[in-house]
Structures are given as C-alpha cells and as structure tokens.
Amino acid sequence: MTQARDEIKIGGLGASRRRVEDNRFVRGKGRYVDDIVLPDMLHMEILRSPLAHARITSIDVSKAWQVPGVRLVLTGEMMASRNLAWMPTLSYDTQAVLATDKVRFQGQEVACVIADDPYIAKDACEAIVVEYEPLPVIVNPAQALAEDAPLIRDDKENQPDNVVFDWEVGDKEGTDRAFAQADVVSTLELHYPRSHPSPLECCGSIADFDRSTSKLTVYMTTQAPHIIRAAVALVAELPEHMIRIVSPDLGGGFGNKVPVYPGYVASILASILLERPVKWIEDKTGNLISTGFGRDIYLRGEMALRNDGKILGVRMQTESDHGAFFSDAQPSKFKIGLLHSAFACYDIPAAHLVNRGVYTNKAPGGVAYRCSFRVTEAMYFQERMMQAAADDLGMDQAEFRRRNFVRDHDFPHRTPFGFLTDSGQYGKCLDVGLEAIGYQGFLKQKEEAKQRGRLLGIGISTMTEPLGAGNSREYDILGIKMFDSAELRVHMTGKAILRTGAKSQGQGHETTWAQIVAHELGIPAEDITVEEGDTDTAPFGMGTYASRSTPVAGAAVSMVARKIRAKARKLAAHLLEVSEEDIEWELGRFYVRSAPGQGVTIQECAAAAYSNMPDGMEPGLENVAYYDPPNLTWPFACYIVTVEVDPQTGVWDVLRVVAVDDCGVRINPMIVEGQIMGGLTEAYAMASMQFITFDAQGNCVGSNYMDYLLPTAWETPGYELHEVVTPSPHHPIGAKGVGECATVGGPAAFVNAVMDAIRDTGVRNIDMPLLPDRVYEALTQRHDVSGAPPVRTDD
Amino acid sequence: MTGLYEEIREQPAGDVPVRRVTITVNGAKRTADVEPRLLLAHLLRQGFKLTGTHTGCDTTNCGACTVLFDGRPIKSCTMLAVQADGHEVTTVEGLAGTSELHPIQEGFKDEHGLQCGFCTPGMMLAAKALLDSNPDPSEDEVRWALSGNLCRCTGYQNIVKSVLWAAKKLQSQSTS
C-alpha cells in the first residue's frame, strides 16, 4: 500500500497554499529599499530638466553648496571627468547619466545633491541655476522623420538622422502573392499609446561603498540583481566579486525595475566619493517622467482574406517611439522585441512586418510593461484587426477566429513570422468563454437593446503569446544568455533552503518555489525557506520579467530537486541495503520494489547524507541547477467583455468580463488567479484611462497620479475566471508563463466591445484609452479618433 | 535623555525652526522635535521607525501612506507632523497584538488580498475605518471606502473579498 505523502496536504503542486510572504507584509514588516537605514547614511535628490530639448549654456551650483547640510553636488561635468557622464544601455546605445551638452527630454537628470536629509537635498536642488537655450522639440515619429527635423542624438558619430533602426521580418514576396489572391483586403491603423508600468513603489537605491574592504553593496529596486551587478562592474569598472547587489522586497515592478537608471549610478559614485552610504528614493513624478515606459508604437496593417473567412496573409508597417536614448530593456535578438509574435494562434500562410524605430524628445527606456517585449502591442493589433476583418467579411467574430485557429493536432506549428508554438486547445478555450458569457443570448439582448436606443457591445480577444525568455540561441542581455538557476540545500533534519536567480515583486516565489520542491521531493512546503535577490548568496540568474520566473527559474527548481532526489536514492539504497535498481519512488519516500513496506523517507535520506553516508560518497545534500529552456512557453487566453455605451456622453460601463486562461499546469491556483485579475485590471486601465502623452513642447502629460489615471476599486469591474489546462510539452512540470497574459490579451477585448457597441457609426478605430470624449467624438462625428501626441493643453 | 547617551549634534547654520509635538501613536505617547514642514509620514517612518506606512505618490492619490487619525483614515504624506500634535494615530503596526493578527490582516492573507504588499497597510487601515463605522458593508460600500487607495497588483477583487471576510469574522467575534 502506498505511503506517499498527500501532495495537496504538504503544499505541493495544485495547492492554493496561503502565501508565506504575507506574514510580514500584513504586519507592515516588509523590507523595501526605503525602509533600510544604514549608519551615517546620506540622501540624494536629482535635479531634472524642465525642458524637453535644449542646450545647456551654464550650470551654477555655488548656491547649492552653501545650503547647510549639503555634502556633494554632482553635475555632468564632474561625471565626465570620471568617464561616467554616459552609460551603455541594455540595447547597445548610450544614455546620459547627468546631462553635459544638451537635455533631450523633460525630466532628464541634470544634477544631483547629496545631503544630510532629503529635505535639505531638495532645497539645494532648487538652489542650482541652469541656463538653457531651447531647441525644437520632437514628440512623434512623423516629426522625427521630417526632412528638416532637428537631430536629437548629435552626441553620436554616424547618426545623421533620428532613426534608431530599421527592422524587417517575414516573407515579403509570399505575402505580396497572398494579397494578389485576396477576395477582400481589410486595413487598420492605430496608435498604442505610451504607458507607464508605475509600480506603487518608485525606484531607489542605497549605495554603500566600504573603503576598508573595497566592497560596494547596493540595495536597490531591481527585478534583475545579477544583471545589475554585471552592468555595475562594466560601468563603474569595479571587480565583480567586490559588488553585492541586494534587491529586498519590491513594491511592484511590472518591467519598470529592469533597466539601469542614472539615479543608481549617481548614488554609487556619490558613495564612493564620500565613503558613506547614499540613499536615493525617487518621487512619483521622477518615476513617471524619466523611467522605463511601455508601448508608444504606431501600427498599420492589412489582412488578405478569402470570402469564406480564411486569412491568406498579413502585412504590418510599424513605427516605434523610443524616446531620447535607445535603452529598451529587452533581451531578444530582434530589434523590436517580439512584435512578430502577432497572429501566432492563427494559421496564416504568409506575413511580413517592417519596423522603424525613432528617437524623440521623450523619456527613454522602453520596457516590457507586464508583457514580453512588444507582445502586448502585437496581440492588441492582432485582435483589433481580427474584429475589423470579421466586420468586413460580415462574419461572426467568434466564428471567424475559430475558422483560422491553429488546430489542436497541428502542433508544433511554425507561425508566419517564424516562432514555433508547441501546444494548446484554442477552440476549447473559446467555447468555454462563449458558454460562460452566454454568447448567443447576449447577441439577442444587444439587438433588443438597440431597438430601445441602448448601445451594448461584446468584445473577444484570443491569443497565444511567447512567455519565458528565453532560449539561449535567441535571447541574451549584453551577451549573457537567458537561462536561470536554483540552488537547493537540504539540511540534516530534512528541512531545506532554496535560492534562485529570479526575483519576486509580488508574484509569491517564497510560496510557489517551495511547492515545486514539495512536488519533487515530498518535503512539506512549510519546511522550505526561499531566498532571492542577494547576489552574494543567490546563484546567477537573469531575474523576473516577461513572465519568465516559472518557465525558466521554476524549471531550474524542478531540476535541482531532481538532482537531490538522485543522490537521495543512493542514500536510500545504502540505508535499505539493496541496490539502487531495486528502489522505487513515491512522493516523499523510497521503498523496496519487492517489499513496498520497507522504505525510507526523504528526511531519513537527508539525515544519512550528514551522518551515515556510504563509503566514498561525498557528504551533504545540496546542488545547483542552471536551466536553459528549449523553447518559450505558449499559454493561450480567451477574454470576453461586454459593455454598455451611453450615446449621450460616450461613457462606457463594463457589464461582464470572462477570462479563460490556459497556462498549463498551475502550481498555486490562488496565485495564478491573482495574477490574472491584476493583469485584467491593467488591461482595463489602458483601455479606459491610463496613458502618458505629450504636448507640442514635450511637456509630459501624465506626470503624477492626478493626471496619470489608474483605476480604483470603484471603477474596476469584477472578473469571472475559467481555466483549460494544456501542459507545456517541454517544461519539467508542464507549467507555462501567465503573469502577463491578461495585460497582453485584455485591452483588445475591452476596446473591441466598445467598437462593437458603436459599430453602426462605421468608425474603425478609437485610439486607447477610450476616454468618454473620444467615444463621444466617434459617435457624433463618425470618424476615427486618433490619440497620438502632441495633445493640445492650452484649453 | 532617552537612552544611555544622546549625541549632541552641532546645529546647521541657518535658523531652522523646531516645534515639539506629542502624538499618541498606536496607543503610546511619542514626543519629537520636528521642523514645521516635516510630513507626518516621514515622522512616522524615519522618526518613529514605523516603516509599515509607505509613501507612494506624494500627491494624496495612492493611499499607501494611509493611517488612522483619531480613528479616521487620512493620508499621512500630505499632513504635517505638527498638525498631528495632540492627536491619536494608528499605523499598521498598531493593528495587531504582538502575536495575533487582526481579522483584517487574516482576511487579506486568507483571500490573497495582496501581492507586492506595498499598498496593503494603507488598504487595511482604510478597511478598518470602514468596518469600525459599518460592520456589515455591501461589496459596493467596500469598493467605495477603498477608492482612495490604489493597488497595482491585485485588481481589487480579492481585496474586497478580504474585507468582507474580516467583516464576517469580526461580527462572529462580537456575537460570541
């Protein structure tokens, strides 16, 4: 009879285990960067540029030095004398740390003050006098590419224009042939607005250089501590073993805390110069106007269609606005990230995509804002295009999708742009969603409501997306391959400590990683401590973003536990006095095949590893695993939204949101559902209110929470969640990424619903966010509504 | 003198005015000399080392710094420390006893009402103010009461469930 441990009881796979980290968070005992106080610590503030494009004619810091309590004032000139005025970006460009020649976006870092307290540092920043000579400002690609456009990056050699790169993928000739055969060609043009991940906690660092040991410790808000250590070693020219990066609790990340920001670098230099700890905590405006944004891309596309609804080909022409420095934090070898993952869930014979990246006078640092590097834009365009094409064909939008889905038995499937998808049940997910929302019933209700002058709409978004960068062939950061790691040490009593190269920002790794170990070894999850974020103790890993923790680090956790189990098996054979071949494993226990009653627990094996190992065996029970995934993981999602639009005002209310997610095997269903609901809310935010734009002078509109609108509990709709499970064929426990799915696939469902409600106007597109005035304009003027900058701010 | 010794720091030149304030924080009287411009959130965090009160936005929008001020929820990032002189302030550290969690804390844990934890102290205090005055709120009443507090992780649904969970628990405690 089996004596295996009950997996759910020990907190293994599938257990909605309550989170370990909550014990400190609900007590207010989290330890975020700003909570850390070091002896003799000083405080740094940054003076930012009020102008978007200007030549600096003079900087006078003398009055700042006179403010009592000021210890250091840093300018670009001082940085330059140490060769630190510019730093390399993660995208092989350069970025100013503190401006020397010009400022190139509003909010650019111009000077820093280090003082006894942050109030003094702020006072002293205001005492710095900077004289600027304003230059013409560029806020969109059309301006950037105009013939007489001012050159933004005149600091660079061989940069005659404002083009960052040109990039192309797909089969141009094949696509041309597909269009030649089309019965119908559908077109769509839209702007996906600039948005900001805006975790509640802003960025910050405490640099602590100890002259006596030559060791630099930096506590900082980073999703990728090991990459930062490598970058600091390169930028500051310090030996890597003398750098310790500690990422403590993070108050959200969503991609914003991947890049290297000037504030980090300046705080490090200040600590080295002053030989005291220097803390820099950004304020919300600093975070919104200068750190990594998401999106800001212009998408035009065409779809070649046969009358029966078959898609023959797709063309996309896109322009992306990268701001003043190309500092996208994305690790693929593709310049525009994974934009070409568009249409991956549909069986499309030919596709072609071109992209031009441009410099503008806007904040740099495109980040994957809760998405895998432009996947959100890809899926938004895809699903808006699908709805437009279904309308042009006069076909039901659900049926049109179903007719073009890659079928369950067609995997592995090569997408038109070259990705290899490996698993999914797309039709089933759609069925579950349609059933849940009551599709046919709603269509009837919508028609009846229309008779009474009410506007109801239903929007569908279905998509598969590539999650879990990477595989080392196609994904790296500064040449470092995108693997990840886990190190597991089982103590003599069978308790354990696990460390990984990932870094939770709310995803609950301390809870879920232990569940994977419990699943592999039968050690109760509560007996396993999880640690991350300290480069002196954690194995080298690439961090947490792009929904890569579970696909990559989570796989490494499985693999290291299996290494431990392999050694434990030898110990078990020794204890049971049989050969290894005669031993079987069940959860938490090895037993003799011929006598299942005779067995030893994993805890007994752990004790033996320290007290009773066989001759010749190395003592101890610990190991490390580095995992290079063979492919990305491909979750699938179907989101369906119903809305009612008020024809008098353009205000729209969400009636229902149904989400069907297939992210493979769920480690902790409670946490997965939490991720999906958080993602849906960011989708709703982008569709309804959340965006950053600029006026013609390059002033950032959306520079604080009074202008940058985030939904509260009051506006946010309720969610109905459903699941389908198609395990990943290559992940050790069959899991797929999920954190970003709803943010990626969600926006199109909301927008498609509103567009469906106002279908009779003939309007093809309203740019996000669908603010009431934009919807009202579409309803009354019956034309497409663009949201591209510049916006008018004079009225 | 409060400890074995207190270092006498040389005052910076310039005349920085200082006001003495006494605030009852989590039931204990705390006294400090503060610059009149010092924000209450900073006194709590840096002065009294109660770092559970977070500062998120500096503009009274996000609510991460919410504390109870004479029992009412206020945003401590836009109140001056001197305004709190003579008043009572409750922070997240004052919510539970030393070992037992408050039902609101239990609710947030049980219903997965938090992810990164940064908004959580403010959310819980806003929830406490609601439940103190309305022990049996509807979902809409919870959503309205929390609408001054932003969360970027959860999408609020589980936060609302957490508060309703706590309401139920508190009611069962008061009847038993």
Does any CB of chain B come closer than 8 Å to the CB of residue A39?
no
| CA gap A324, A329 in Å, rounded | 14
One domain for residues B89 and B127: no
Does pTM surpass 0.90? yes
Q: Closest Cα of chain A to B99: distance in Å?
A: 10
Note whether A450 contacts B: Cβ–Cβ < 8 A.
no
Residue from A499, A740, A741, A774 carrying the catalytic annotation:
A740
Cis peptide before A790 (omega within 30 of 0): yes
Asked whether the CA dihedral B123, B124, B127, B132 is positive or negative, the reply is: negative
Residue A746: how many other CB atoms lie within 10 Å? 33
Tell me if B2 is assigned to some domain. no
Do residue B169 and residue B134 come from a single domain?
yes
Percentage of chain A lying above the pLDDT 70 cut: 99
The active-site residue out of A223, A387, A675, A690 is A223
| Whether residue B85 sits in one domain with residue B146 | no
pLDDT of the residue at B1: 44
pLDDT band at B4 (very low <50, low <70, confident <90, very high): confident
For residue A509, the chain B residue with the least C-alpha distance is B115
Q: A200, B91: Cβ pair inside 8 Å? A: no
DSSP A113: E
Read off the DSSP letter of residue A346: B
In a domain, B4, yes or no: no
Q: Who among A34, A37, A506 is closest to B116 (CB)?
A: A506
Candidates A530, A585, A499, A554; CA nearest to A732 is: A554
Q: How far lies A725's CA from each of A430, A464, A664, A673, A736, in Å?
A: 13, 14, 5, 14, 10
Q: Find the helix or strand (DSSP H, E) in which A184 lies.
A: strand A184-195
CA distance A249 to A676: 21
Interval B64-102: pLDDT, tens:
999 999 999 999 999 999 999 999 999 999 998 777 999
Phi and psi, residue A306, nearest 5°: -95, 155
Same-domain status, B88 and B111 = no
Strand B28-34 relative to strand A700-701, pairing: unpaired
How many Cα atoms sit within 13 Å of B154 on the Cβ side?
28
Residue B27 and residue B81 in one domain: yes
User: CA–CA separation, A764 vs A385, rounded Å?
Assistant: 10
Chosen domain end from B38, B59, B94: B94
CA A716, CA B159: separation in Å to the nearest integer? 12
Query: Are A68 and B13 within 8 A, CB to CB?
Result: yes
- Confidence at residue A568, expressed as pLDDT on a 0 to 100 scale: 98
Whether B129 and B158 map to the same domain: the answer is yes
Residue A294: which of A202, A366, A223, A342 has the closest Cα? A366
Please judge whether A714 and B144 are an interchain contact, meaning their C-beta atoms are less than 8 angstroms apart: yes
Do the Cβ atoms of B92 and A22 come closer than 8 Å? no
Q: What is the pLDDT of residue B11?
A: 60
Structure tokens at A662: 């297939």
Residue B113 shares a structural domain with residue B79 = no
Residues in CB range of A703: below 8 A, 6 or more apart = A107, A285, A288, A289, A692
Catalytic annotation on A112?
no
**Domains in chain A and their CATH numbers?**
22-30+484-627 (3.30.365.10), 33-135+202-249+257-290 (3.90.1170.50), 294-469+631-781 (3.30.365.10)
pLDDT of residue A795 exceeding 60, the answer is no
Measure CB to CB from residue B158 to each of A32, A198, A674 and give the nearest one: A674
Answer whether the bond into residue A769 is a cis peptide, omega within 30°.
Answer: yes
- Provide mean pLDDT across the span A339-366: 97
Same domain for B143 and B82:
no
- At A108, list the tokens: 């650019």
> For this structure, is A189 an active site residue?
no
Q: Which two tokens stand for residue A544?
A: 């947490």
Per the annotation, the verdict on A223 as an active-site residue is yes
Question: Is B34 inside a domain boundary?
Answer: yes
A252, A706, A714: residue with CB nearest B116: A252
By C-alpha distance, the chain A residue nearest B157 is A718
Q: Say if the Cβ atoms of A200 and B116 lie within 8 Å.
A: yes
The model's confidence at residue B175, banded by pLDDT at 50, 70 and 90, is confident
Determine contact, residues A35/A105, Cβ cutoff 8 Å: no
Q: Is it the case that residue A323 has pLDDT exceeding 70?
A: yes
* pLDDT tens sequence across A207-259: 999 999 999 999 999 999 999 999 888 777 789 999 999 999 999 999 999 99
A516-557 pLDDT, tens digit per residue, is 999 999 999 999 999 999 999 999 999 999 889 999 999 999
* Residue where a domain terminates, one of B94, B119, B153: B94
Does A593 qualify as catalytic in the annotation? no
Record: contact A26-B56, CB cut-off 8 A: no
Q: What is the pLDDT of residue A231?
A: 86
> CB distance from A35 to chain B under 8 Å?
yes
Could you give the CA distance from residue A422 to residue A317 in angstroms, rounded to a whole number?
28
Q: Are residues B76 and B107 in the same domain?
A: no
pLDDT of B119 over the 70 cut: yes
**Residue at B8 is within a domain:** no
Select the residue from B37, B157, B162 to test the A interface by mutation, using most A Cβ atoms within 10 A. Answer: B157
Nearest CA of chain A to the CA of B26: how many Å? 13
Q: Quick check: A367 and A328 in contact, CB under 8 A?
A: yes
- β-bridge pairing A693-694 and A700-701: antiparallel
- Please tell me whether residues B83 and B110 are part of one structural domain: no
Residue B166 and residue B136 in one domain: yes
Same domain, B80 and B145: no
What mean pLDDT is reported for chain A? 96
Partner residue opposite A680 with nearest CB, options B56, B155, B160: B155
- Which SS3 state, helix, strand or coil, does residue A312 take? strand
The boundaries of the domain holding residue B111 are 103-175
How much of chain A exceeds pLDDT 90, in percent?
A: 93
Read off the pLDDT of residues A456-478 as tens digits, 9 standing for 90 and up: 999 999 999 999 887 888 888 88
Q: What is the pLDDT of residue B12?
A: 56
Q: b/e per residue, B128-163, with b = 16+ CB within 10 A?
A: bbbbeeeeebeeebbbebbbbbbbbbbbbbbbbbbb
Which of B95, B143, B152 lies at the smallest CB-CB distance from A198? B152
Chain B residues within an 8 Å CB radius of A198: 152
A28 touches chain B (CB under 8 A): yes
Q: What angle do CA B20, B23, B25 make, to 5 degrees?
A: 145
Predicted local confidence at residue A368, as pLDDT: 87
Which residue is listed with tokens 């965090």? B45
Are A291 and A576 in contact by the 8 Å Cβ rule? The answer is no
- Would B134 be classed as within a structural domain? yes
pLDDT computed for residue B15 by the predictor: 72
CATH number at residue B45: 3.10.20.30
The minimum CA-CA distance between B54 and chain A, rounded to whole Å, is: 8
Domain at B114, CATH number: 1.10.150.120
Would you give the end-to-end CA distance of chain B in angstroms?
Answer: 47
The total number of structural domains in chain B stands at 2
User: Which of B94, B125, B156 is the C-terminal boundary of a domain?
Assistant: B94
What secondary structure letter does DSSP report for A391?
H
Residue in A with minimal Cα distance to B64: A200
Look at A677 and B158 and tell me if their CB atoms are within 8 Å.
yes
Q: Which of B14, B45, B157 sits opposite A718 (nearest CB)?
A: B157
Collect all residues with Cβ–Cβ distance below 8 Å to B63 and sequence separation of at least 6.
B56, B75, B119, B122, B123, B126, B148, B149, B150
Buried b (16+ CB within 10 A) or exposed e, A372-398: bbbbbbbbbbbbbbbbbbbbbbebebb
* Chain B residues touching A31 at Cβ < 8 A: 51
Amino acid at A671: I
pLDDT exceeds 60 at position A1: no
CA geometry: angle A113, A94, A696, nearest 5 deg: 75
Query: For residue A19, what is the nearest residue in chain B, using CA coordinates?
Result: B109
pLDDT tens for each residue of A7-57: 999 999 999 999 999 999 999 999 999 999 999 999 999 999 999 999 999
ipTM of the complex: 0.97
Give the Å distances, CA to CA, from B64 to A251, A252, A384, A722, A747: 11, 13, 36, 32, 27
Whether omega before A412 lies within 30 degrees of 0, making that bond cis, reads yes
A-chain CB neighbours of B158 within 8 Å are 674, 677
